[in-house]
Amino acid sequence: MNNLLIGSLMCGASCFGWMGLFYFSNHLLTCYFRAKKWNISMHHTMNMSEAIVSSIQVHLASLAEAPKCLAGRVNSYLRRRTLLVLHHVVVVTVLMPVLIYRNGIGDFFVGCFYCVELSGPFTNMRVVLSRLGLKASRWYTVNGILMIITFALCRVAIFPYMYFAYGAQYGLDIFQVMKKIPLHCNLGSLLVLLPQIHWLRLMVLGAFKISRGATLTEADEKID
């Protein structure tokens, strides 16, 4: 009976805590977007809030022993996921406004930016296969190859391609293109590209490790 009571209390407390974090994140994001006068829909804001809660849950599940206090958990998350946090902060505060508030121009670049998500199914499938204990399977190897190819094309090569394609349309080389387009577009592209190069490097190193007959650890599989 005591175990049932304790379990019920813990379940209730966790539900209250996670839902509280969700609504708190949603409130902060809503106020921020409203202050910036960005026309972000309620559905997109709630999706961002859900991603914040979900990412923290995945992080805590990967720890051998989660810090007991909230401050310790937040600090641990920021230290272990610094690059991932910075990446998504840049996406929300820099890239998203550029994609939305562009006065009806730049459809080509917007389409290219959306292509970066084509690698998502393969990066997610790697985690699924790992959790199912299929790291040594052929499916894991094939998925890894497809993941690296799509990631390299859609998240790294897509950036120089955008510049070359834009330059080809107007007869400019890549350096002239960099001077022609707004500075914040160059900086935004660079800030998004740099972590993609880092994650692609980790993927390639992991592939070499597998080719030598080794098995990837959970730490090796993380690209953040």
Annotated domain spans of the chain: 1-66, 93-224
**In contact, 116 and 155? CB cutoff 8 Å:** yes
Classify residue 143 as exposed, middle or buried by CB count within 10 Å of its CB (0-12, 13-18, 19+): buried
Closest CA relative to residue 186, chosen from 156, 163, 153, 155: 163
Angle between helix 82-90 and 183-211 (nearest 10)? 140
Q: How many CB atoms lie within 10 A of CB 151?
A: 23
Closest Cα partner for 148 from 209, 58, 59? 209
How far is C-alpha 185 from the geometric centre of its chain's CA atoms?
A: 20
Burial label for 170, CB within 10 Å (0-12, 13-18, 19+), is exposed
DSSP E strands, the chain: none
213, 157 Cβ separation under 8 angstroms = no
Closest CA to 76 of 62, 87, 86, 93: 62
CA distances from 215 to 30, 62, 130, 136 (A): 43, 18, 11, 8
DSSP 173: -
**What's the length of the chain?**
224
Whether pTM > 0.85 for this model: the answer is: no
Q: What is the pLDDT along the chain (224 residues), one digit of tens a residue?
A: 566 677 677 777 777 777 888 888 888 888 888 887 777 777 778 877 877 777 777 766 666 565 566 676 667 667 767 766 776 676 666 666 666 776 777 788 778 878 888 888 888 788 778 777 787 788 888 988 999 999 999 989 999 998 999 899 888 888 898 888 888 778 878 877 888 898 899 888 888 877 777 666 555 555 54
